[in-house]
Amino acid sequence: MALKIGDKAPAFSVKDQDGNDVKLADFKGKKLVLYFYPKDMTPGCTAEACNLRDNYNVLLKQGYEVLGVSTDTEKAHQKFIAKEKLPFRLLADTDKKLHEAYNTWVEKSMYGRKYMGTARVTFIINEAGVIEDIIEKVNTKNHTDQILKKETVSTPAEKTAPKKSPAKKSIAAKKAPAKKTAPKKK
């Protein structure tokens, strides 16, 4: 059964990257961003994690704690955290129990091949442990804006990138040959 806004968030107990138990109950009285992502060190997952990293202090000031969840191992999470300098914990849901509780272990399809994998979904859980929002269409480069319900702003790279000019028509297309008129008959 799919979770929806207003549902009580399913309780969990999962190990973080350092082997420490992390429980939903640990966040009672706090707002929690629980984001599920497919795999450490992949382009989309790195973009999402780095956006949250770059805006981590903003999220903390708004009262949010952040936890990332994937089926990667604790060791893989440690490497990812070290490489990208992530300030938040990553949960190693290797047995997929947390994924199953949140319905994020789903059938996917790539090039016609079906397989099971993680749905990129973020759950915003309020201080009472109730799901306040579910973000199913994650914009990996502007995820913090989605969490804070702000209008998405462009990334620094997008702001400095030169704008593409509209496609120019070829000279031949601009200078189409004039229509030949038939000589008038007398």
Q: Which residues of 145-174 are buried (b: 16+ CB within 10 A; e: fewer)?
A: ebbeeeeeeeeeeeeeeeeeeeeeeeeeee
3 touches 131 (CB < 8 A): yes
Contacts for 147-150 with beta carbons within 8 Å, 24 or more apart? Answer: 147/33, 147/59, 147/64, 147/122, 148/58, 148/59, 148/62
The answer to whether 45 is a known catalytic residue is yes
Candidates 24, 32, 45, 124; catalytic one: 45
Six-digit token pair at 14? 């999962």
Q: Which residues are catalytic?
A: 45
